[in-house]
Structure formats: structure tokens, C-alpha cells
Amino acid sequence: NAEIECRSPNVCTYSYTAPDVCSYSSEGTYHPKVIVESGGTTTGSAGQTCSDGTPYGQCSANKPKYCENGNLVNRCSVCGCPPDYTCQESGKCKPNTCITTQELLTYVVKYIIGSVDFSELRNVLKTWLECFT
């Protein structure tokens, strides 16, 4: 017999009873893709957010960032990665297709001669850095 009772959108109590075997009850704050059990008290701080406005204990719109006690940390195992990126054990997302140093230098030259704009060069540089960090 399992029962879930929610007092607000994110605060729920979960109970499980198997007659003559065991009984289990837990209360916690539940977030999409994240469950933090608190043993009878709620976790997180209502109304508090990280620098980008993400509430404590939730994923940022900027994947793989997760708001942990006011700090944005990489947590792709919980928050996922953007399209064409793969989750790494470190919690960071790595591009599926990397740019070589030679390709980066080609973009730098193209920027210098005016055949690509700065935003395109910035995107290439960002991808290159993500491949090697």
C-alpha cells in the first residue's frame, strides 16, 4: 500500500506499508528529476534563488547548471545536456563534435579578414573550449 500526499506543489509525504513486513514514511521537497528526502522536514529555502534566478534545488534553463544552496554547479546527471552534447562524469556537458585547434585558427583568420562576425567566432571558441576542459 503506497500513498503520496502533497500539501503544496513541491512538498509531499510518501508512505509505504506492506502488512506484516514493513512500513516506511518519508517527507521531502520534490523537484523535477530530483528527489531530496529530508526525514520529516522540507529541504531548500522557499524564495531563494541563484544568480540567474533559478530556485534552490532546481535545474537552470542553462543546462547542465543546477542551483545548489545559491551556487550554480554542473550537474548533467540531473539536469541533462543541451542537444548535441553528452553528459560527463564531472557533471559537465561535452559537445558530441569537437573543433580542432586548426579549425579554430581558421575561424580567427576569417574573423580578422572580416568573413565571419564576432558572434560566430565566439560560438566556435566556446565549443573548442568545452572540448578541452
Using DSSP's 3-state secondary structure scheme, residue 15 falls into strand
**pLDDT classification of 3: cutoffs 50, 70, 90:** low
Q: Is 2 left (phi over 0), alpha (psi -120 to 50) or beta?
A: beta
Give the H/E segment covering residue 128. Answer: helix 118-132
Q: Which grid coordinates belong to 85?
A: 552534447
pTM for this model (two decimals): 0.56
Residues 49 and 35 placed together within one structural domain of the fold:
no
Boundaries of domain holding 123: 97-133
Residues 39 and 62 placed together within one structural domain of the fold:
no
In this predicted structure, the answer to whether residue 44 has a pLDDT above a threshold of 50 is no
Residues 10 and 31 placed together within one structural domain of the fold:
yes
Per-residue model confidence as pLDDT tens digits over 81-125: 999 999 999 999 999 999 999 999 999 999 999 999 999 999 999
Residues 38 and 49 placed together within one structural domain of the fold:
no
Phi, psi angles (nearest 5°) of residue 3: -145, 135
Q: Largest Cα–Cα distance in the chain?
A: 79
